[in-house]
């Protein structure tokens, strides 16, 4: 498909803004740009068609089943979008006087109250723009907490080996060193290894529960107690909250600080990678350290003398919070646990239907997602998890997450979410069983998949070796 | 109660039966009984769409939407062409995930590749990432890119946006990096500090135009930073680059900016767009996603996420940053905006901002007590004095539907965009006269 620059024709343009009515005034030469940018010169219809074509080559939640593990690709309700587009939200300047933003403050206060109740936390900031950004804030809170107590030797963070890569990367950003805690045979935290790692240099533990293999760690209360006893704090990575909301609260499990992914659990759209939102909740003992907006604090937030500072401008991805609040008010007290319950049921139902074809990494009741391991399939037939994923594309299905978590070889991580119906799950199971048959009868065909997509498998090694990261205009 | 669950109660029972269970609760048998909730959480009962929608509309109605906005300071009221939201609200773009599966994500990958090219053209820099959270976090990540074993000290202009300064400061505190604010004089950076940068200086960060709207001698700053062996980082205002000298032309190593002005509504502060561009030799230090061009197995042009060896899912604690997403939809917004404007349109918008602000500045300074605070060149923002209490003035202006300049101590920081024409500005001046009794 042509790039937008290849559709540009010199002299074509749109007519969007009026002619100047001011006395003309030129920028001094020394301040003016010499080289004009090669932006595309196009009619509006050409732009419109260009993006319609790009949309056709993009797979959204409504294009088909999207069981992407750890990403919670549930349906994004349309009313959320309608509400976020209201001028009373979208047209608000972040530095308006306090008396003119009562509605915005009400959105944040209401969302904070409900999300604190859902997670068992006492306070919450909406400043972090994404999950990883939230992790970063959570770790800053931990750092500030220990420093405020004069406890400067706590520089280690414990992270299970099954964790998402952002956990250790975030820990490094606040100057912590990482100690990896191995998983036991059940995929849960190895208590013995945890005990051995705990001492007075541990700042805290980062954990998701259910963990990245989709299992609720039954020892969770022991885990958090051990960390507390050693003087550390417990951080909850909210990536998998969609399994448990309304059933059990991280705050009750012994966690002190938590981030949420509003774009996963609370139905806001992923937008091709963003914008999401990663609010951070905490117990009272950390509340005073929460980030603030330096300028907003003067206008409406109030000063926070012990705050860790700020991690972006203003108050966060406000319109994402508007969407999430709309969702919470819609589902309410009954709907929240029903959504998570159905997410777990859908996962177990699909797991049940495919587990005879593809071995499970852990054969037991799962939470909202489960992990298949294709190690034996690969040994037996040469077909890899990647081959199966690419074959699914030909069936109009988005593949599961591949090769994660790292503790499982040839992993496919499947998360159907609660908004899928039984027919979709049945069809997906049939497709997976059919592919399993193909691994036995025609394995060579699977190496060539996909065949029905706009492109075949791309040369990723070549892309990294010889990076072309912008269009080169012909001379 | 509202719900998006397709399954009926009957189906649910059948599904439970299929897996050998009776109740939904049976799925939660690993949860210790002492913490399993008996009756959900204590939030209001759910409501159908119509009820929730009117509740949210009522909240929005408790805000004041100003028809006239003369306030910038990091969030700008520019005109947003209708085509922008038409494109970005397409549900494929809106709901898709990060494009890991390139074969079914060529649309979003190509749009990122195009965005990266547009950012390079706009800034005159060599490379761009796929964007990050916002302008302030982009500035902080840029500063982190300049860290080496020998050089870690960070110099930040006190004339930059206060929220950007605070964000950089927080990131520096996190990593344990020395942070120094460069003092100012008459609204501009004091050159003296830059002439005596120590040998462990990693970078100098400045903003052009600065927080007060003034043009710094940016070229000189880049030169002095380079003379000290440090990197030069510039924060820019994308619209200004329609006519103003680019960071590329002034030899900056990294250029970052808040992209909100490129078609994104003010949205009470977010979501916004963090633009990150750099010289070629810093490409592998960039945080976050980067789209690259390659070919598929049949030699056709294809786009993928590339240079992933930098990233956290490969490098874990050794990654250069923990960023694992971009603001893809906001990046697309900026791309559609720039395509809709085209080179001519963008220049015209920038020129309108420049001319409008200067006309307003001239008219305002004819009033008693509204003299400009600084006398040097500015783009579309400037500081003025205020002859009455600034908060009282702000409140009076609000009664006329005007969001006046931002109150900074006892002064006002004004901003004019292309939304204001001469007649509109004359109208504002008349209101100010009335409010101040002149």
User: B384-396, pLDDT tens digit by residue?
Assistant: 999 999 999 999 9
Query: What pTM does this model have?
Result: 0.97
Domain-located, residue A34: no
Domain-located, residue A16: no
Domain-located, residue A145: yes
Asked whether the beta carbons of residue A273 and residue B130 sit closer than 8 angstroms, the reply is: yes
User: B117-152, pLDDT tens digit by residue?
Assistant: 999 999 999 999 999 999 999 999 999 999 999 999
Domain-located, residue A62: no
How many Å lie between the alpha carbon of B79 and the closest alpha carbon of chain A? 8
CB contact, 8 Å: A345 with chain B? Answer: yes
Tell which residue, B94, B129, B417, has the closest CA to residue B262. Answer: B417
Of A303, A326, A349, which residue is a domain's last?
A: A326
- What is each CA distance from A299 to A332, A396, A403, B159, B402, in whole angstroms? 32, 51, 47, 20, 17
User: A392-428, pLDDT tens digit by residue?
Assistant: 999 999 999 999 888 899 999 999 999 999 999 999 9
B312: pLDDT confidence band, cut at 50, 70 and 90?
A: confident
Quick check: B2 pLDDT over 90?
no
Q: What element of type H or E holds B112?
A: helix B106-123
Identify whether residues A310 and A341 lie together within a single domain. Answer: no
The pLDDT assigned to B319 comes to 77
Residue A422, number of CB atoms within 10 A of its CB: 18
Identify whether residues A314 and A340 lie together within a single domain. Answer: no
Cβ atoms B125, B277 nearer than 8 A: yes
Tokens of A82: 């309608």
The pLDDT assigned to B77 comes to 98
Identify whether residues A126 and A230 lie together within a single domain. Answer: yes
A42: pLDDT confidence band, cut at 50, 70 and 90?
A: very high
Identify whether residues A299 and A392 lie together within a single domain. Answer: no
Closest partner CB to A17 (pick from B140, B314, B345): B345
Identify whether residues A319 and A383 lie together within a single domain. Answer: no
CB contact, 8 Å: A6 with chain B? Answer: no
Cβ atoms A280, A135 nearer than 8 A: no
Of A305, A326, A347, which residue is a domain's last?
A: A326
Asked whether the beta carbons of residue A100 and residue B66 sit closer than 8 angstroms, the reply is: yes
User: What average pLDDT does range B59-76 have in this prediction?
Assistant: 98
Tokens of A414: 């499947």
Identify whether residues A267 and A168 lie together within a single domain. Answer: yes
User: What average pLDDT does range B17-26 have in this prediction?
Assistant: 97
User: What average pLDDT does range B66-72 have in this prediction?
Assistant: 98
The pLDDT assigned to A406 comes to 86
Q: Which residues of B touch A138 (CB under 8 A)?
A: none
User: B355-383, pLDDT tens digit by residue?
Assistant: 999 999 999 999 999 999 999 999 999 99
B181: pLDDT confidence band, cut at 50, 70 and 90?
A: very high
Asked whether the beta carbons of residue B324 and residue A166 sit closer than 8 angstroms, the reply is: yes
Number of domains in chain A: 2
Domain-located, residue A355: yes
Cβ atoms B141, A311 nearer than 8 A: no
β-pairing verdict for A202-207 and A233-237: parallel
Closest partner CB to B329 (pick from A36, A61, A271): A271
User: What average pLDDT does range A243-254 have in this prediction?
Assistant: 98
Closest partner CB to B24 (pick from A295, A345, A460): A345
Q: What is the mean pLDDT of chain B?
A: 96
User: A158-191, pLDDT tens digit by residue?
Assistant: 999 888 888 999 999 999 999 999 999 888 999 9
Q: Which residues of A touch B29 (CB under 8 A)?
A: 365
Tell which residue, A97, A289, A135, A272, has the closest CA to residue B268. Answer: A97
The pLDDT assigned to A475 comes to 78
Cβ atoms B45, A333 nearer than 8 A: yes
Cβ atoms B383, B412 nearer than 8 A: yes
User: A284-330, pLDDT tens digit by residue?
Assistant: 999 999 999 999 988 887 888 999 999 999 999 999 999 999 999 99
ipTM above 0.95, yes or no: yes
Identify whether residues A278 and A420 lie together within a single domain. Answer: no
A467: pLDDT confidence band, cut at 50, 70 and 90?
A: very high
Closest partner CB to B325 (pick from A276, A336, A457): A276
Asked whether the beta carbons of residue A97 and residue B394 sit closer than 8 angstroms, the reply is: yes
Contacts of A460 (CB under 8 A, 6+ apart): B102, B294, B304, B306
Identify whether residues A320 and A347 lie together within a single domain. Answer: no
| Percent of chain B residues past pLDDT 70, beyond the cut | 100
Number of A:B CB contacts under 8 A?
677
The pLDDT assigned to A162 comes to 85
Q: Which residues of B touch A30 (CB under 8 A)?
A: 245
A260 lies in which domain range? 79-326
Identify whether residues A263 and A351 lie together within a single domain. Answer: no
User: What average pLDDT does range B257-266 have in this prediction?
Assistant: 98
Cβ atoms A178, A168 nearer than 8 A: yes
How many Å lie between the alpha carbon of B371 and the closest alpha carbon of chain A? 20
Quick check: B415 pLDDT over 90?
yes
Tokens of B314: 């490969």
Of A269, A292, A326, which residue is a domain's last?
A: A326
The pLDDT assigned to A303 comes to 81
**CATH number of the domain where residue A193 is located:** 3.40.640.10
In whole angstroms, give the CA distance from residue A341 to residue A203: 34
User: A201-247, pLDDT tens digit by residue?
Assistant: 999 999 999 998 999 999 999 999 999 999 999 999 999 999 999 99
Asked whether the beta carbons of residue B29 and residue A419 sit closer than 8 angstroms, the reply is: no
Structural domains in chain B, CATH included, are 9-61 (no CATH), 68-79+344-436 (3.90.1150.10), 82-335 (3.40.640.10)
CB contact, 8 Å: A406 with chain B? Answer: no
Cβ atoms A253, A377 nearer than 8 A: no
The pLDDT assigned to B320 comes to 72
**CATH number of the domain where residue A436 is located:** 3.90.1150.10
Q: What is the mean pLDDT of chain A?
A: 96
């Amino acid at each position: 498909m042509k790039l937008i620059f290849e559709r540009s024709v010199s002299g074509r343009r749109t007519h969007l803004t009026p002619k100047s009515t001011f006395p003309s005034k030129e920028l001094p030469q020394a301040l003016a740009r010499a080289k004009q940018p090669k932006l595309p010169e196009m009619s509006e219809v050409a732009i419109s068609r260009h993006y319609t074509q790009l949309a056709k080559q993009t797979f959204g939640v409504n294009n088909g089943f999207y069981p992407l593990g750890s990403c919670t690709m549930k349906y994004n309700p349309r009313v959320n979008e309608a509400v976020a587009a209201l001028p009373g939200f979208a047209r608000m300047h972040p530095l308006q006087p306090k008396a003119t933003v009562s509605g915005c403050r009400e959105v944040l206060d209401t969302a904070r109250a409900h999300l604190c109740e859902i997670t068992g936390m006492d306070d919450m900031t909406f400043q972090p723009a994404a999950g990883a950004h939230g992790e970063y804030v959570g770790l800053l809170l931990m750092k500030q907490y220990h420093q405020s107590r004069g406890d400067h030797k706590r520089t280690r963070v414990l992270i299970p080996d099954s964790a998402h890569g952002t956990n250790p990367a975030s820990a490094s950003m606040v100057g912590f060193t990482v100690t990896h805690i191995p998983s036991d045979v059940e995929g849960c935290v190895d208590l013995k290894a945890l005990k051995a790692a705990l001492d007075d240099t541990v700042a805290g533990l980062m954990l998701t529960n259910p963990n990245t293999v989709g299992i609720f760690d039954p020892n969770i209360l022991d885990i958090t107690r051990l960390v507390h006893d050693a003087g550390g704090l417990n951080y909850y990575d909210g990536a998998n909250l969609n399994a448990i909301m309304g059933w059990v609260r991280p705050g009750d499990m012994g966690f002190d600080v938590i981030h949420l992914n509003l774009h996963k659990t609370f139905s806001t759209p992923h937008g091709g990678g963003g914008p999401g939102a990663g609010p951070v909740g905490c117990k009272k003992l950390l509340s005073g350290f929460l980030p603030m907006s330096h300028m907003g604090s003067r206008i409406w937030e109030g000063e926070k003398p012990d705050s860790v500072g700020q991690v972006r401008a203003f108050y966060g991805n406000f319109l994402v919070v508007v969407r999430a609040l709309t969702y919470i008010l819609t589902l309410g007290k009954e709907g929240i646990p029903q959504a998570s319950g159905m997410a777990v049921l859908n996962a177990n139902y699909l797991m049940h239907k495919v587990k005879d074809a593809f071995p499970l990494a852990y054969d037991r009741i799962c939470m909202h997602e489960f992990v298949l391991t294709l190690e034996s399939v690969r040994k037996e037939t040469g077909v890899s998890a990647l081959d199966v994923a690419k074959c699914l594309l030909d069936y109009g299905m988005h593949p599961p997450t591949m090769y994660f978590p790292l503790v499982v070889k040839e992993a496919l991580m499947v998360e159907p979410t609660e908004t899928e119906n039984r027919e979709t799950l049945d069809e997906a199971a049939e497709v997976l069983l059919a592919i399993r048959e193909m691994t036995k009868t025609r394995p060579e065909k699977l190496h060539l998949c996909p065949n029905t997509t706009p492109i075949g498998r791309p040369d990723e090694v070549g892309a990294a070796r010889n990076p072309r990261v912008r269009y080169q205009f012909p001379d | 109660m509202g719900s998006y669950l397709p399954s009926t109660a009957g189906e649910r029972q059948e599904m439970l039966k299929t897996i050998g269970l009776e109740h939904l609760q049976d799925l939660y048998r690993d949860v210790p009984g002492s913490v399993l909730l008996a009756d959900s959480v204590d939030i209001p009962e759910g409501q159908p769409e119509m009820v929730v929608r009117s509740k949210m509309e009522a909240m929005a109605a408790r805000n004041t939407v100003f028809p006239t906005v003369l306030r910038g300071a990091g969030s700008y009221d520019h005109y947003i062409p209708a085509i922008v939201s038409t494109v970005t609200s397409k549900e494929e773009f809106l709901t898709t995930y990060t494009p890991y599966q390139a074969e079914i994500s060529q649309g979003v990958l190509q749009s990122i590749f195009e965005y990266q090219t547009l950012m390079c053209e706009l800034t005159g820099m060599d490379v761009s990432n796929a964007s990050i959270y916002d302008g302030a976090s982009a500035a902080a990540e840029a500063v982190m890119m300049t860290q080496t074993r020998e050089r870690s000290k960070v110099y930040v202009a006190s004339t930059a946006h206060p929220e950007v300064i605070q964000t950089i400061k927080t990131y520096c505190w996190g990593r344990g990096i020395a942070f120094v604010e460069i003092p100012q004089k008459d609204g501009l950076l004091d050159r003296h500090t830059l002439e005596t940068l120590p040998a462990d200086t990693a970078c100098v960060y400045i903003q052009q135009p600065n927080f007060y709207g003034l043009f710094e001698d940016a070229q000189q700053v880049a030169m002095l930073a380079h003379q000290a062996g440090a990197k030069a980082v510039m924060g820019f205002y994308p619209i200004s680059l329609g006519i103003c000298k680019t960071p590329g032309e002034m030899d900056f190593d990294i250029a970052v900016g808040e992209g909100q002005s490129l078609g994104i509504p003010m949205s009470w502060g977010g979501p916004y767009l963090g633009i990150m561009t750099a010289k070629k030799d810093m490409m592998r230090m960039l945080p976050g996603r980067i789209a690259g061009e390659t070919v598929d197995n049949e030699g056709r042009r294809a786009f993928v996420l590339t240079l992933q060896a930098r990233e956290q899912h490969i490098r874990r604690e050794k990654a250069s940053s923990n960023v694992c997403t971009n603001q893809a939809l906001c990046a697309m917004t900026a791309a559609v905006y720039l395509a809709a404007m085209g080179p001519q349109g963008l220049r015209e918008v920038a020129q309108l901002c420049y001319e409008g602000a200067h006309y307003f500045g001239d008219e305002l300074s004819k009033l008693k007590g509204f003299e400009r605070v600084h006398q040097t060149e500015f783009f579309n923002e400037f500081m003025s004095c205020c002859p009455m209490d600034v908060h009282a003035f702000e409140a009076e202006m609000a009664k006329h539907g005007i969001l006046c300049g931002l109150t900074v101590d006892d002064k006002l920081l004004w901003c004019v965009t292309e939304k204001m024409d001469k007649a509109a500005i004359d109208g504002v001046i008349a209101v100010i006269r009335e409010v101040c009794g002149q």
